[in-house]
Copies of this chain bind each other. A is one copy, B any other.
C-alpha cells in the first residue's frame, strides 16, 4: 500500500507566494481565511487524507462496486469514511455560510481537494459533486428550491450527481434526447436514459439529488433546447424528508480500467410513469447552469491531475530511495539506492518540476476565482474572470495530460514492480487515465480554448496574459541569481505572441487551425507552467535572503530544470501547430 503525505510545505509556499493567499483573505467575505487558519485546515485535512482515505484507496480498487438488482454496493469502508468526512464538515469548506458551509475562499479549498483526490480519487468524486451542484443551484435555483435542497447538499446529508451524457450524446450535448413533460402543479415528468453517471446510485446517503439535462416539449433543437431539472431519488414528504421512491433505476454499472470505487451508472428515468423533477432556472437555459457545475468539475479534474501525479511522485521517490540496484555510473560504488542513477534522478526531478508548475497554475487560478467573485474593483474582478475563462481548458486539459505522464513515469521508476498491482502505482496510472476524458476530453478543451477563448475575442485576454508573463521575465532580466531564466521565459512569451498573430492571420482556415488545437493547448500549458516556475524561483530567492536551505535552493533549480526540459517542447508544439494542419486537411481519409 502506498503512503500519502500531503505536501504541506509546497502547498503553503504556493498559496502564499504565488496565489496571494493573504490578499485573498482580505477580500470582502474572506475575512476568516487568515494564513494561520488555512494552515491549520490543511494540516487537519492532511491527517484525514493520510489516515482515513489513503488506506481505503486500494480497497476500492480491488473490490470495486457491484450492482445487485437495482442496488449499487460500494466498497467496504466507503460508508464509514463518508460519514466521517461529512461529519467533519469537509464538504462545505468553501460553500456559502448561509447554507451551512464555512465560506472559505476557493483558494483555500484547492489544496484540500488535491489531498482528497491524491489519497482516494474514486471516493472524493462523491463529495466533489455536492460542491459543483451547490454552485449551480446558487446561480439558477429559486429561493424555495435553495431552502429545500441546499442545506442537505452542503452538509453532505444527501448526495448529488450531474446527468449529461446519453448513449448518442457524449461530447455533443446537442444530441440530448431525455424529455421532460409538464405536470399539473408545476413539476415535470422525465423520461429517458443517462449513462456514465458517477455515483448515480448508491446507499451512502438517504437521498441523491440528480441534476438532469432534458428537453421540454416545446424545446428548440440543439443545445439551446436543454433545460435543467432537479430530480431526487426519493421525493420529499411533508416534513422535507425522503419519502416515496422516484421513477429512476440504475440498470447497469460500467466495468472500467480505473476508479473502481466510484460507481459509473446507467440511469433509466421514467420506466414507470415518469420521474418527477423540478425545473431549475429558466426553460431552455439549462446548459448555461450545467456549465457552472461543469466548470467547477473541470477545475477539479485539473486538480486531480496534480493530485495523482503527487501521489505517484511520492511513491516513486520512496521506492527510489529504498531500492538498491546497480553501481554508481561515476564511482562504480555498489549498494546505492537507484535514486543515485542519473536517469532515475532525472525522472524524479522532472516529476517534481511539473508538479510545482501545475500546482502553481491551479492554485493561482483558484485565487482568480476568488478575485473574480469578491474583488471590490470591477476591473480587477473582470480581468480575473477572463483569465479563468481563458485558462480553464488549460488547467483541465494540460494538467490532466501531465498528470498521466507523471503516473506513467512513476511506474517507470518502479520498473517491474510498477507493473505489478500490489505496489499501488499501477492503480494511480489506471485511475488517472479517465482524467483526460471526462468533463470534456483534451480535444474538447483544446477546441474550447482555440474557438471560444481565443479566436472569438481576437486573442485579447491571451495578449493580456502574455503581458503578465513578460513582466515576470523582465523581473528576471535584472535578477542577481536568476538571470539565466529570463531568456527562456521571454522566449515563451514571444512564442505565444507569434502564435496569437498566426492564429488570427489564419482565422479563415478553420479545419487547419482546429487540427492544431491540442498542440496549442500544450503550448499554452507549458508556457504558463514556465511562468509559474519563474515566479516560484523569484519567491524562493527572495526568501533565501533570510537563510539558505535545500528546499528553497531546490525550487530555483526546479525552475531551471523545467526551462531545460519542458520549455523547448513549446517550440515543437508551435511548429506542429503551424505545419501539421495543412497536411492533415489534404490527407486522404481513405489512406488511413
Interface residues of A (CB under 8 A from B): 165, 168, 170-172, 174-175, 196, 254-258, 317, 324-327, 329-330, 334, 339, 341-349, 352, 404, 408, 411-412, 415-416, 418-422, 426, 429-430, 433-434, 436-438, 441-443, 446-447, 510-512, 514-515, 517-518, 550-551, 553-555, 557-558, 560-561, 563-565, 568-569, 571-572, 575-576, 579-581, 583-592
User: By CB atoms of chain B within 10 A, which of A412, A442, A551 has the most?
Assistant: A412
Contacts of A553 in B (CB 8 A): 588, 591
Q: Is the CB of A576 within 8 A of B580?
A: no
Give A463 to B586 CA distance when docked, in angstroms: 36
Evaluate contact between A550 and B511: CB separation under 8 angstroms: no
> Chain B residues with Cβ under 8 A from A441's Cβ?
412, 415
Are A170 and B510 in contact, CB atoms less than 8 angstroms apart? no
Q: In whole angstroms, how far apart are the Cα atoms of A416 and B563 in the complex? A: 34
9 contacts between A and B (CB under 8 A): A172-B327, A257-B429, A317-B592, A342-B512, A342-B584, A411-B433, A412-B441, A550-B591, A553-B588
CB-CB under 8 A from A551, the residues of chain B are 590-591
A588 cross-chain contacts in B, Cβ below 8 A: 550, 553-554, 557
Interface of A is mostly: helix
Q: Would you call A412 and B436 a contact (CB within 8 A)?
A: yes
B339 touching A171 by the CB < 8 A rule? no
| A590 contact set on B, CB distance < 8 A | 550-551, 554
Least CB separation from A552: chain B residue:
B591
With the chains together, A433 CA to B442 CA distance in Å? 21
Decide: B515 and A346 in contact? CB cutoff 8 A. yes
Please tell me if the beta carbons of B442 and A412 are within 8 angstroms of each other in the complex.
yes
Residues of B within 8 A of A420 (CB): 254-257
Nearest residue (CB) in B for A264 is B420
Are A339 and B561 in contact, CB atoms less than 8 angstroms apart? no
The oligomer's copy count stands at 2
Inter-chain contact B564/A579, CB cutoff 8 Å: yes
**Once the chains bind, are B416 and A438 in contact (CB under 8 Å)?**
yes
Alpha-carbon distance between A245 and B572 when the two chains are bound, in angstroms: 59
Given A343-B446, A430-B430, the answer on whether A554 and B591 have CB atoms closer than 8 Å is yes
Q: Which residues of B contact A554 (CB under 8 A)?
A: 587-588, 590-592
With CB as the reference atom, state the residue of chain B lying closest to A62: B255
A252 shortest CB reach to chain B, Å: 11
- Which chain B residues border A560 with CB–CB below 8 Å? 583
> With a CB–CB cut-off of 8 A, which chain B residues contact A352?
592
Contact A587 B434 (CB under 8 A): no
10 pairs of A and B residues whose beta carbons are closest in the complex:
A554-B591, A564-B579, A568-B575, A342-B515, A568-B572, A343-B443, A342-B514, A550-B588, A257-B426, A172-B326
Q: Select A345's contact among B255, B442, B584, beta carbons within 8 Å.
A: B584
Residue of B whose beta carbon sits closest to that of A326:
B172
Interface hub of A254, A344, A418, A592 (most chain B Cβ within 10 A): A592
Contact (A564, B592) CB under 8 Å given A325-B170, A412-B443, A447-B343 = no
Could you tell me the distance in whole angstroms from the C-beta of A557 to the nearest C-beta in chain B? 5
A421-B255 in contact (CB<8A) = yes
> Shortest Cβ distance from A311 into chain B, in angstroms?
15
Q: What distance in Å separates the Cβ of A502 from its nearest Cβ neighbour in chain B?
A: 14
B557, A568: Cβ atoms under 8 Å? no
Task: With both chains docked as a complex, state the minimum distance between the C-beta of A71 and any C-beta of chain B, in angstroms.
Answer: 21
Contact B515 A592 (CB under 8 A): no
Residues of B within 8 A of A434 (CB): 419
Do residues B437 and A514 form an inter-chain contact, with CB atoms below 8 A?
Answer: no
In Å, the complex CA distance between A401 and B457 comes to 39
A460 to B162, CA, bound (A): 62
Q: Which residue of B has the minimal Cβ distance to A313? A: B592
From known contacts A418-B437, A588-B554, infer whether A344 and B172 are also in contact, taking CB-CB under 8 Å.
no
CB closest chain-B residue, reference A572: B568
Q: What's the minimum C-beta distance from A386 to chain B, rounded to whole angstroms?
A: 24
CA distance A589 to B345 in the complex (A): 8
> CA of A443 to CA of B344 in the docked complex: distance in angstroms?
8
* Interface pair B580/A564, CB less than 8 Å apart: yes
List chain B residues, Cβ under 8 A from A518. 343, 346
Q: Do A419 and B256 touch (CB < 8 A)?
A: yes
User: Given the complex of chains A and B, what is the CA–CA distance between A550 and B586 in angstroms?
Assistant: 11
